[in-house]
Structure 1
Amino acid sequence: MFLVGLTGGISTGKSTVSKLFTALSVPIIDADIIARRVVQPGRRANKRIRKNFGDEVFQADGNLNRELLGKIIFNDANKRRQLNSITHPEIFREMCWEILYYFGKGYKFVIMDSPLLFESGTWVNYLKCTIVVSCEENLQLQRLMQRNQLSETDAVARIKAQMPLSEKISKADYVIENSGTLEDTKRQVTEIYNKLDNSKAYLTVRISAFILFALFTGGVSVMISWFFSP
């Protein structure tokens, strides 16, 4: 099994692309979903956020006040880095468990869906390839303002808080242009899927895993034989 990174700018349509891959039976490990899970009440990240950001960024039921926390971190780079230092290790750990799960299921590849794929750099060296979802700048701004009910100033601040889309595109192996129709986006996703599905890269990982397993179990057998030998 090999790993494919999926990212894009905020409101460029990454979620749409992710759903299209899901429809093709590709497992998706979604960093956003995991990020919401690791900050739930009682979790370690939840407690650390309260300690570092105060009670005001929490609702009465112990869940994060995401709107307020978002305003803080998207306007303060230091606070954003502080929050990332709390959540990223927890997210990484849970993503690793999901990778092992899908590896055990025998999938050829999985998609690592992460809005900060290049910014964090955590997974880049482990990826077979990367996909960036792009769209026109004006369309991105309009989508974000409508989706999150933001003013233009707040929307621009959130876009600028991420790596420039042009820089992400320069790092990508595949780019999906999502300014057109859903059918056009679906066509691009299907083309990339066919290339990934026909790749034999997953065999290298399976063979390597088998060799490591054989060496480990063989080594254990030798040690047991030596220990119990006369």
Structure 2
Amino acid sequence: MRLAIGLTGGIAMGKTTVSQYLADRYQLPILDADLYAREAVAVGSPVLTQIADRYAGILQADGSLDRSKLGSIVFQQPAEKQWLEAQIHPFVRDRLQSERNRYQQADPQRPVVVVVPLLFEAEMTDLVDQIWVIYCPREHQLRQLMQRDQLTPEQATARIASQMPIEQKCDRADVVLSNSSTTAALLRQVDRAIAGKLGSGTG
């Protein structure tokens, strides 16, 4: 059976950079939980209907989800975040599992990368064979998150606090990738992990 790499880490720590590199350099298929989470709340979906029923005024004029407004609710109220994840995570798990199986059947020798920001929190570690965690210093993470999502320090801190501490994720990782200096240095670690874990037959 082919290998499934679970790529995770804290928010805004570099998962997209690493997954894009694995796709470009090693031609590995990337299964992104965030994309499936967006599918789960697409216009007309049952999950979006449930969200709209729970939160008044959460839809935009075109019927799509107002993600900014939803984020301001769930990242300040842990119980609401838990409710939302209970609606979305089963859909995401099913999509990840079915796509992983499809790729494995099509090409059993090529690893697949399963990118799940909440791999531990959502209890999806059973979907992967190895766990790679990306780590960076807290100050760097906070700065990146504020710039990327146009958040205040308070909003960014709340989003970081909603996830499992990165130190705990690193403790459970098979591979830890440090994103504490340059992108080039991070990608060299990816190369070493590929060589050490997967051998030379991946690309």
Instruction: Give TM-score, length-normalised by structure 2.
Output: 0.92
Match of 1:180 in 2: 181
Aligned residue runs from structure 1 range 35-184, under 5 A: 35-54=37-56, 56-107=57-108, 108-121=110-123, 123-184=124-185
Q: After TM superposition, which residue ranges in structure 1, 4 or more long, deviate above 6 angstroms?
A: none
Cα deviation digits, residues 21-80 of structure 1 (max 9, x gap): 1111111110001111121011121112112223x1111111110000001010000000
Provide the rounded CA distance (Å) in 2 between the counterparts of 1:34 and 1:95. Answer: 8
**Superposition RMSD in Å:** 1.5
Percent of counterpart pairs with the same letter?
35
> Judging changes above 3 Å, is the alpha-carbon distance between structure 1 residues 148 and 104 closer, same or farther for their aligned structure 2 residues?
same
Aligned residue runs from structure 1 range 2-41, under 5 A: 2-23=3-24, 24-41=26-43
Provide the rounded CA distance (Å) in 1 between the counterparts of 2:105 and 2:55. Answer: 39
Residue aligned with 2:121, SS = helix
Cα deviation digits, residues 185-211 of structure 1 (max 9, x gap): 1101111112333299xxxxxxxxxxx
Bigger fraction of residues in helix: 1
> Judging changes above 3 Å, is the alpha-carbon distance between structure 1 residues 86 and 199 closer, same or farther for their aligned structure 2 residues?
farther
Provide the rounded CA distance (Å) in 2 between the counterparts of 1:112 and 1:180. Answer: 25
Give the deviation of 1:125 after TM superposition: 2.6
Instruction: Give TM-score, length-normalised by structure 1.
Output: 0.82
Give the deviation of 1:161 after TM superposition: 0.7
CA contact (8 A) 2:97 2:127 kept: no
Unaligned runs of 5+ in 2: none
